[in-house]
Amino acid sequence: MAATPSIRVAVNIPYRGGTRTWSTRFHFNGGTPADGTHWTTFSDALVTSFKTCFTSGLTIVATYGYAAGNNVPVFSKTYSTAGTAAGGTPCPGDSAAMLRWSTAARSTKNHPVYLWNWIHGANWSGSGSSDTLLASQRTAIQNFAAAFISPGISDGTNTYVRAGPNGATATGQECDPYVRHHDFPL
C-alpha cells in the first residue's frame, strides 16, 4: 500500500467511434486534505491546472481521492471540464504524452527513482513527423508538472507537491518530445 495520499483524475477521450475513459494518479506529499471541503478545493485546483494539458476534445469527468495506505476512495467529485490546450492534429486515442518526474530518491541498486504519468490526447503539428508531440502541448504539460512541484497545489490550508507512492518528492520534470503508445488498462 502507498505511504502517501493520492488523487486520480478520470478523463473521457474519443476512441474508435466511441468514448473511452482513461485515468492517471498523482501521489503527493504535504499531508492529506482534512475533509470534503479541503479535498474539493484541492481537486478543483488540480483540475484547473491539469485541463491545460489536452484539447477540448477531451473532458475531465471525475476525481477520486485516496488516503495513504488505502485503495478505497475517501473522496470523489464529478466534473464535465473540457481541456483548454491549443490543438494540433490529434493522434490515435491510445497515443499519449509521457511525463517523467525526477526525485532525489535512489533504489536499493542505487538507480534514480522516477515517477511517471501518461497523458492521452496527444497532438502533433500536422506537418513534419507525426511522432513529435505538438510543442505547445509539451510546454503545457511541463508547466503543469512544474507547478505541481513548486509552488504546489493548495487545498486552501495545505499545499501539496507531487510525490511517489513511497514518499519520494518530485524535484524536476520532463515531458518526452515524442508521442508514445500507451494501452488503456483493462
Q: What is the pLDDT averaged over residues 143-170?
A: 97
Give residue 167's pLDDT.
94
Q: Per the structure block, which three cell numbers stand in for 43? A: 481537486
Name the pLDDT band for 10 (thresholds 50, 70, 90): very high
CA nearest neighbour of 176 among 129, 142, 148: 142
Q: What is the pLDDT averaged over residues 71-83?
A: 97
Q: Over the stretch 50-65, which tens digit does the pLDDT of each residue have?
A: 999 999 999 999 999 9
What are the structural domain ranges in the chain?
6-181
Res. 48: pLDDT tops 70:
yes
Give residue 177's pLDDT.
95
Q: Around 10, how many Cα atoms within 13 Å sit in the side-chain half-sphere? A: 14
The C-alpha cell 473521457 sits at: 12
The C-alpha cell 485503495 sits at: 71
Res. 186: pLDDT tops 90:
no
The C-alpha cell 479535498 sits at: 39
Percent of the chain whose predicted confidence (pLDDT) is above 70: 99
Chain Cα centroid distance, residue 69: 20
Residue type, 84: T
User: What is the full DSSP assignment across the chain?
Assistant: --SS-EEEEEEEEEETTEEEEEEEEEEEES----SHHHHHHHHHHHHHHHGGGS-TTSEEEEEEEE-TT--S-SEEEEEEEE--SPP-EEPPTTEEEEEEEEEEEE-TTSPEEEEEEEEE--EE-SSS-TTBPPHHHHHHHHHHHHHHHTT-EE-SS-EEEEE-TT-PBEEEEEE-SB-EE-PPP-
Q: Over the stretch 93-143, which tens digit does the pLDDT of each residue have?
A: 889 999 999 999 999 999 999 999 999 999 998 777 889 999 999 999 999
Q: Per the structure block, which three cell numbers stand in for 105? A: 530518491
Q: Which residues 6+ apart lie within 8 Å of 169 measured at CB?
A: 29, 103, 104, 161, 162, 163
Name the pLDDT band for 73 (thresholds 50, 70, 90): very high
Q: Rounded CA gap, 94 and 53, in Å?
A: 16
Res. 74: pLDDT tops 60:
yes
**pTM for the whole structure:** 0.94
